[in-house]
Amino acid sequence: MTGLSSALNISVSSLMFNQTATSTISHNLANVNNPDFARQIVRGESQNIAGFGSGVSIGAISRRVDEQLQAELTGQKAVRSYAENYKRFNENIEIIFGTPNSTTDISATLTNAFTQLNNVANLPESSAQRLNAVNQLQFMSDQLNGMYTDLIDLQRDIDNEIDNQISIANNAIKRIEELNIQIAITRNVSLGGQNTNDLEDERMAQINILAESVKVNVIYDEDNRAIVNTESGQQLVTNGGYTQLERTVAPGPGLYAGIGIRSINSGGTPASFVLPLDTTNMTGGSMKALIDVRDTDTVAILDQIDEFSSVVIQEFNAVHSRGVGVPPPSSLTSQALTTAGVDLFAEIGLVPGSTFDISQVDQATGNVLNTTTVTLPAAPPLSGVGLAATINAALTGAGFPATFNATWAAGSLTVQDTTGNSGVVMGNDSDDFLGRIIMNPLFEGTDASTIQVRPDIVAEPGLLATARMRVADGGLSLNNNANAIELAKISTTNYSFAAAGGITPQTDSLSGYFSTVKANLAVNLQDNSRRLEFAQSLETDIATRNASVSGVNTDEELANLIVFQNAFQASSRVITTVDEMFDVLLNII
């Protein structure tokens, strides 16, 4: 049944609806520059009583969203965040390697070192040239030490950044849980048109923040609570609690702490046990990128520069051991063995029955004072102590003074004149005895962290082995450059490099191998730059499509505002008309 009262009630309902719609438009316009805001729409529902229209009610104030686009955007944020952080920290590795063709580049340092060794070969009597060569070689070893230290520091920086990402993820996880509770309560006890739209917007923003740290999958339950899982299915937010990430005990010495998940129940009580976070199956998010750079990329580079350093040490030492400095020193000592020294035939490849010469020479002239040939035993075994005894027997038989002898201690052979009055020269070895035992090494250490030019050579560059024993009489020509030439030839000689950090075994020059390491790094960076550009482009495309659905369009909102404004005015006009009609009725009565 209709009447003036019914018309009044209908108009009042229209006023309320249009007022709410206008407020909603105002809310939309206020958030036009808020990227986390989803446009809200008031939906009206017509009312009727006994078949007669009775006005309009507010059906719902809903968010205009495309759930599929939102899910794609969340996933793409994880992909972009991975590529972004992976590129950022790999660029730090490139900085550590130094700018190509600059003085900070190992290749340039190596080239300069060989240039100086060529200068020594051309002017063997020049102490200045020997000093330059030694300084350049030490500079190279310092650079390798520095690269190793910088890479270890980078790993620590990355590990600290992982702690920061854990904190960001934990804050997002906890806030998602809090919003889940608020959303569920508001949905169940909604009064006076309350809605959860803004809460859902904030929750979506927190999910995206979390996704940038750890790639996640999200589903919603019947109360619209977000259930958040990692890619491998580990729960981060449930419909009855949440989890927190934390560092776990390192799995071994020198290794970094892992990441674990501790559950927090609905009462806020943490679980007594921690489950390991499955990082192996993670594919996106900054945390995965950090782990990959820390545990894979930097480790690979460390392995590669260690392999480079070990070959530098090995090959320089092998050549250097075949020569002697000018003037000749009063003692020569071998590199300390890493083996037991029980049988040098088996352990370092000394050849049974091979020979080498030892001479005692005048340090000022290089003239021979005494000389002898040492013959190794014809059959194994030969211990380090046995080697020293064999040499001493040869020295005694040749009439050397008692002060000129061989000793074995701490895995090293030393041949010396204990008085320090004469020089020791060794050479003419039939089966590279000197190179095999590394009798007079140039470098100490085994890898990039420990490589260094022998400190006594740094202090006295004259110990740089530039000369070799004269074949004719075992003496030493003080302007001899035979060993300096061989040291310089290292630059053009190919050596065997073992597999290291993803580089397959290969034969190459020292500079060639290092160029391969740098080239691989450059290719990796270029590839990741393209991946990052693609990820950013795809994220922008998805965000644009999502904004076309959820974003606030000012022109559209203003157009709707006019529509609701006119409707409000029309309803007000109806109320005025009804009021006038009531006055007429009252006057009649």
pLDDT at 100: 59
| Residue 530 to residue 151: CA distance in whole angstroms | 24
Mean pLDDT of 322-340: 93
- The reply to whether 271 and 330 lie within a common domain is no
| Cβ burial 316-334 (10 Å sphere, 16+ → b, else e) | bbbbbbbbbbbbbbbebbb
Cβ atoms of 285 and 81 closer than 8 Å: yes
Among residues 439, 468, 502, the one where a domain terminates is 439
What pLDDT does 266 receive? 76
Count: domains in the chain: 3
Q: Is the pLDDT of residue 52 over 80?
A: no
Rounded distance, CA 572 to CA 17, Å? 12
Long-range contacts from 253-260, C-beta under 8 angstroms, 24+ separation: 256/155, 256/159, 256/294, 256/295, 257/159, 259/162, 259/166, 259/287
In a domain, 459, yes or no: no
Same structural domain, 243 and 350: no
Over 60: is that where the pLDDT of 1 sits?
no
Do 359 and 248 fall into the same domain? no
Lookup: tokens for 113 = 């070192």
Same domain, 278 and 173: yes
**Model pLDDT, residue 431:** 94
- State the average pLDDT for the chain: 91
The pLDDT of residue 99? 63
Asked if residue 580 has pLDDT above 90, the reply is no
Domain assignment of residue 344, yes or no: yes
- Look up the CATH number of the domain holding residue 336: 2.60.40
CA–CA distances in Å: residue 237 to residues 75, 220, 282, 449? 17, 11, 17, 44
pLDDT, residue 102, reads: 60
What is the average pLDDT across 326-340? 92
Report yes or no on 47 lying in a domain.
yes
Which DSSP state fits 297? Answer: I
Q: Which of 37, 24, 60, 34 is nearest to 199 (CA)?
A: 37
Is 39 among the domain residues?
Answer: yes
Same domain, 266 and 348: no
Q: pLDDT grade, residue 87 (50/70/90)? A: very high
Looking at the domain assignment, is residue 500 inside a domain?
no
Q: Report, as an integer, the average pLDDT of 146-155.
A: 95
190 lies in the same domain as 278: yes
User: Residue 144: CB partners within 8 Å, gap ≥ 6?
Assistant: 106, 305, 308, 309, 448, 451
244: left (phi over 0), alpha (psi -120 to 50) or beta: beta
Span 485-539, pLDDT tens digits: 999 999 999 999 999 999 999 999 999 999 899 888 889 989 999 999 999 999 9
Specify the DSSP class assigned to residue 316.
H
- Is residue 191 predicted with pLDDT exceeding 60? no
* pLDDT for the residue 106: 84
Q: Is residue 356, in this structure, part of any structural domain at all? A: yes
Q: Which of these three, 418, 439, 460, is where a domain ends?
A: 439
Residue 417 lies in a domain: yes
- Are residue 256 and residue 335 in the same domain, yes or no? no
Q: What is the pLDDT of residue 589?
A: 66
User: What is the spatial distance between Cα 293 and Cα 96, in angstroms, rounded to a whole number?
Assistant: 14
Domain co-membership, 279 together with 333 = no
The 10s digit of each residue's pLDDT in 343-376 is 999 999 999 999 999 999 999 999 999 999 999 9
pLDDT given for residue 29 in this prediction: 94
Same structural domain, 265 and 336: no
When pLDDT is cut at 50, 70 and 90, the band that residue 53 belongs to is confident
Task: Please give the model's pTM, rounded to 2 decimal places.
Answer: 0.87
Report whether pLDDT(192) > 60: no
Q: Please write the tens of the pLDDT for every residue from 367-407.
A: 999 999 999 999 999 999 999 999 999 999 998 999 999 99
Q: And the tokens for 182?
A: 């608020």
Q: How far apart are CA 148 and CA 307, in angstroms?
A: 12
What's the N-to-C CA distance of the chain in angstroms?
A: 22
Question: CA dist 482 to 432, 462, 495, Å?
Answer: 16, 15, 21
- Position 190 pLDDT exceeds 60: no
Q: What is the pLDDT of residue 267?
A: 79
Average pLDDT rounded to a whole number, residues 285-294: 96
- The percent of residues in the chain predicted with pLDDT above 70, rounded, is 98
Task: Give the pLDDT confidence of 13-25 residue by residue, as tens digits.
Answer: 888 888 889 999 9
Q: Are residues 355 and 266 in the same domain?
A: no
Please state, in angstroms and rounded to a whole number, the distance separating the CA atoms of residues 249 and 263.
18
Q: Does residue 47 register a pLDDT over 90?
A: no
Residue 40 pLDDT greater than 80, yes or no: yes
Do 172 and 256 fall within a single domain?
Answer: yes
Position 280 in a domain? yes
Closest CA to 172 of 77, 236, 232: 236
Domain extent at residue 172: 165-285
Whether the pLDDT of residue 101 is over 70: the answer is no
> Which structure tokens are listed for 551?
């974003």
Pick the last residue of a domain from 237, 258, 285. Answer: 285
Q: Residue written as tokens 């310089």?
A: 488
